[in-house]
Amino acid sequence: MASAAETVRTQANITYRIPEGVYINAGTDAGLQQGLSGAMVLEDGRTLAFEVVQAARKTALLRLDGAGSDLVGSLQARPIELVFEAAAPPEDKAKPSGKDEPFVPLLAPARRAPEIAPTQNISHGNVGVRQTYQGGTDNQLDYAVTRIYTSGNIDRLFGSAWSFNWSGNARYRTGDGYRNHSEFETLQPLVYSAMLQHPLAGDGFVRLGRFLPLELPGVGYLDGGQVEVDTTGHWKFGAVGGLKPNRVSLDVSGDEPTVAGYATFEVGQFGSAYYSGTAGLLGALYKGEADRLAVLFDQRAGFGPRFDLFSTAELDFGVANTTNSQIQLSRFDLVASSRLHSLFTLRTGADHWQRTDSQAQRDLLPFAGDQLFDDGYWRYWIGARHDLPWRLDLNEELSYIVSDATDDAMRWRIGLTHSRLLGWAFSSLSATLYNLKAQDASGYGGLVSAYLPFWDTRLAIRPSASLRWLDPDSGGDGISLTYYAVHLDARVSKAWTISGGLTSTSGDGADALLFDLGLRYSW
């Protein structure tokens, strides 16, 4: 067990992106638990605040808080680093280590234990409000969005072994832009989870309500139930079934009944030699017709602390009665990482995505032309990371994309991060350079970002700016500042947190100024 002020740094990969947040392939084995907060550090040095919404042994759902959370939209299967303060038993007290602590951005304070611990209805959670405004556009896309959100859990419900978890938000939109949006001048509630859970023998459990199964996220949101049985050996077996909510509004719907059965095999210990794999078979109807039959597979393996392997896949059998329905590999991600030396970590992998041609997918799209159901893309990449002297972190990546929608081209990225600027505790400065390849232009782009903490990290300021140069000979506009931003996170007290920011974007006829401000209360 980690001691009370121990800083934990965990390497992981983003496995799924959903409206509620992101799934990663690290969980309670890595020290994550529901309600824990910390910082997510991206490959290019950018830092985002996170909170653990749910956690299982090998996976967790994180909500990214505040401005900049949309950065991870294209980072599926990409490596990240989580930095957080390990939970300690109530009797432990934090003691200064006397050592030069590593970079730990804006960690949430530990909850204060009551003098007499309650024996029932033990509740932890948060509620917040965020106001976003976009103005200064030259194409009448100004808008304002008010968002109220909450998540949490209640353990030992009325003194029983049952627990209740919830997560959701409500949004209201006004302005000139996006008038066709479902939340325009209408209060739009979205319930992501509202579930009861009861433990079974070992790590088994029963879930009832609305949830997205952590053990096999590819199943998606369901209103129904899930049972998992732990054989107390290396195997676990589970089944999940119910009705998918409406894919846009998340309203209760009977259009898409879905069932899945799965098995998990685990051996070894995380951090040494280990293997964890989950395979499942999913079947779904849509408005009374067979619409999807797929095999889902997630696995993670390690061979000591120097090698780690992660992969996930979805194989569809094309049972829908649509034009391009076929047996296809709809999704595949593979990431291998090896720490060859204290100064050198090698990473390589492949990513694939192809839209499934099902009737549920066609009804979701604004139009369903056959060109939307092509072969998708394949991306092959190799990269490295170097922990250098003087608190420098160098990382680079080379990738090749094969797609019908874009020209096949080699893309590269190189980034450098310096921590503890001039001895400034917990601060960092990052710079990233990459090439740009498109059908009608080519050039280079750059990003500079910093993390500047004050008052023992009670206030953190995150400025960033991006520039690009597009070759004028190929129709580009030369050098330009595409965006600049400044965001802040302020811990006002043990319970209250303020966050906000200002972002200015320009270029490609999409000039805009985005302002957001949020307030959160945690208990």
pLDDT for 98 equals 44
pLDDT for 183 equals 83
pLDDT at 96 over 60: no
Q: Which of 123-127, 223-227, 275-279 has the highest mean pLDDT?
A: 223-227
Q: Which of 130-144, 346-360, 408-422 has the lowest mean pLDDT?
A: 130-144
pLDDT at 94 over 70: no
What does the alpha-carbon distance between residue 351 and residue 378 come to, in Å, rounded to a whole number?
6
What percent of the chain lies above the pLDDT cut of 70?
A: 87
Kindly list the structural domains of the chain, giving each domain's residue range(s) and its CATH number in brackets, ordered by start: 1-90 (2.40.10.340), 200-419 (no CATH)
pLDDT for 500 equals 92
pLDDT at 270 over 50: yes
pLDDT for 320 equals 87
- Would you place residue 112 in the very low, low, confident or very high pLDDT band (cuts 50, 70, 90)? very low
pLDDT at 262 over 60: yes
What does the alpha-carbon distance between residue 203 and residue 206 come to, in Å, rounded to a whole number?
10
- Would you place residue 113 in the very low, low, confident or very high pLDDT band (cuts 50, 70, 90)? very low
pLDDT for 160 equals 92
Report yes or no: 6 and 83 within 8 Å, Cβ to Cβ: no
pLDDT at 110 over 50: no
What does the alpha-carbon distance between residue 329 and residue 295 come to, in Å, rounded to a whole number?
10
Q: Which two tokens stand for residue 491?
A: 């811990």
Strand, coil or helix: what is 77?
coil
The rounded mean pLDDT for the chain is: 83
Tokens 């802040």, located at residue: 488
CA 165 vs CA 49, 191, 474: distances in Å: 21, 11, 54
pLDDT at 244 over 90: yes
Q: What is the mean pLDDT of residues 82-90?
A: 65
What does the alpha-carbon distance between residue 38 and residue 50 come to, in Å, rounded to a whole number?
6
Q: Which of 226-230, 324-328, 390-394 has the highest mean pLDDT?
A: 226-230
Q: What is the mean pLDDT of residues 404-427?
A: 84
What does the alpha-carbon distance between residue 485 and residue 245 come to, in Å, rounded to a whole number?
36
Q: Which of 13-22, 138-147, 407-416, 491-500 has the lowest mean pLDDT?
A: 13-22
- Would you place residue 65 in the very low, low, confident or very high pLDDT band (cuts 50, 70, 90)? low
- Would you place residue 395 in the very low, low, confident or very high pLDDT band (cuts 50, 70, 90)? very high
Dihedral of CA 470/508/64/221: which sign? Answer: negative
Q: What is the pLDDT of residues 438-459, one digit of tens each?
A: 767 788 999 999 989 898 888 9
Strand, coil or helix: what is 140?
coil
- Would you place residue 74 in the very low, low, confident or very high pLDDT band (cuts 50, 70, 90)? low
Q: What is the pLDDT of residues 8-35, one digit of tens each?
A: 777 787 877 777 778 887 888 788 888 7
Dihedral of CA 177/180/186/187: which sign? Answer: negative
pLDDT for 240 equals 98
Residues 6+ apart with CB under 8 A from 99: none
CA 171 vs CA 62, 132, 253: distances in Å: 20, 11, 21
Tokens 């676990």, located at residue: 236
Q: Which of 84-93, 157-166, 190-199, 505-514 has the lowest mean pLDDT?
A: 84-93
What percent of the chain lies above the pLDDT cut of 90?
A: 41
What does the alpha-carbon distance between residue 445 and residue 450 come to, in Å, rounded to a whole number?
17
Higher pLDDT residue, 105 or 505? 505
The DSSP output letter for 229 is E
